[in-house]
Structure 1
Amino acid sequence: MAQTVREIMTTPAVSMPPDASVKEAAQRMRDEGIGDVLVTEGEQLKGIVTDRDIVVRGLAERDDLSNLHLSDVCSSEIVTAEPNETADEVISRMRQRSVRRIPVVEKGKPVGILSLGDAAVEKDPHSALGDISAARDNT
């Protein structure tokens, strides 16, 4: 039987509201050892912010980040997955859409996140990406 997304996703997904500061999100990513934060209003997924988004849409665009919020840098066109989809289906979607992380939603509510690293650890644990992804965070 094929592995489901539920079996390999990371839980819980860290989420913050759109009006949270980019600095708060960066600190949360550092503290949690993660590379993304889901942007939510209530329990509704509104976007995703990655460490790369902060650099490309934040630092590269502005001199002063003090008033920058997640809504200013988040990706709002979100590719999502459901927990009961097969991992192979979702990995294929990641490849087609050129994304490294996919929020996992159930009944519209975020329940986890599937990263390229999660997939590598499960599907090809002895690959370079699998080894790196399984290693302890070095921050």
Structure 2
Amino acid sequence: MTTARDIMTGGAECIGAQETVLDAARKLTQLGVGALPICGTDERLKGMLTDRDIVVKVLGADKDPATVKAGDLAQGEAVTIGADDSADEVFATMTSHKVRRLPVIDGHTLVGVVALADAARALSDPKAGQLVEALSTD
């Protein structure tokens, strides 16, 4: 059985909830990624921060990225998947929650992220198409 651990991109780095959005933007640029998990001081996942969040919720709202905290942009409980959950469960979770990036946890520890491309590569062709279609519609 293929698991989330098998298809995830490991070594995901967090942005601390108390770090600024400007720090997050710099980290996104440095890592060449479009999203970062937001972790609290307890190292638990608080949410995901995307480059779009920064543009729409901070810059577009005339807020100062040097003063807005990354944790201020975390919305509700983070949608995650267990490292040993099946690829089918990854598919179902991404589809039902309409998320393009799914943090992978082992216990309470972030161990990686499954991106839409990771999931699509791991699924059969029909399921990959269904996933892309589900995440591309409102």
Tell me the TM-score normalized by structure 1: 0.81
| Structure 1: distance between partners of 2:123 and 2:7 | 10
- Report the more deviating stretch, 55-64 or 84-93: 55-64
Offset of residue 66 of structure 1: 2.4
Shift of 1:7: 0.4
1:103 equivalent in structure 2: 103
Contact 1:58/1:73 (<8 A) preserved: no
2:135 alignment counterpart:
none
User: For 1:71 and 1:14, how far apart are their aligned partners in 2?
Assistant: 15
Compute the displacement of 1:124 (Å).
Answer: 6.2
Q: Aligned-pair distance for 1:102?
A: 1.0
Counterpart Cα distance in 2 of 1:93 and 1:116: 12
- Could you list the runs of 4 or more consecutive aligned residues of structure 1 that deviate by over 6 angstroms after TM superposition? none
Which letter maps to 1:123? L
2:29 maps to amino acid: R
Name the residue aligned to 1:7.
Answer: 6
Q: Percent sequence identity over matched residues? A: 35
What's the RMSD between the two structures over aligned residues? 2.0
Residue 33 (1) aligns with residue 32 (2): yes
- State the one-letter code of the partner of 1:108: H
Letter in 1 for 2:3: T
Q: Do the aligned partners of residues 35 and 124 (structure 1) sit closer, same or farther apart at CA in structure 2, a change above 3 Å counting?
A: farther
Structure 1: runs of 5 or more not aligned: 129-139
Checking the alignment, whether the CA contact within 8 Å between 1:53 and 1:74 is kept in structure 2 is no
Match of 1:133 in 2: none
1:113 aligns with 2:116: no
Q: Distance in 2 between matches of 1:105 and 1:93?
A: 14
Deviating more after overlay: 80-89 vs 44-53: 44-53
Match of 2:136 in 1: none
Distance 1:59 1:5 in 2: 34
Distance 1:63 1:113 in 2: 28
CA contact (8 A) 2:19 2:69 kept: yes
How far is the alpha carbon of 1:24 from its aligned partner?
A: 1.1
SS of the equivalent of 2:82 reads coil
TM-superposed CA distance for 1:63, in Å, is: 4.5
Task: Tell me the amino acid that sits aligned with residue 121 of structure 2.
Answer: V
Query: Are 1:64 and 2:64 matched, yes or no?
Result: yes
Q: How many angstroms does 1:67 deviate by?
A: 0.9
Q: Which segments of 5 or more consecutive residues in structure 2 lack a partner in the other structure?
A: 130-138
Cα distance in 2 for residues equivalent to 1:124 and 1:55:
34
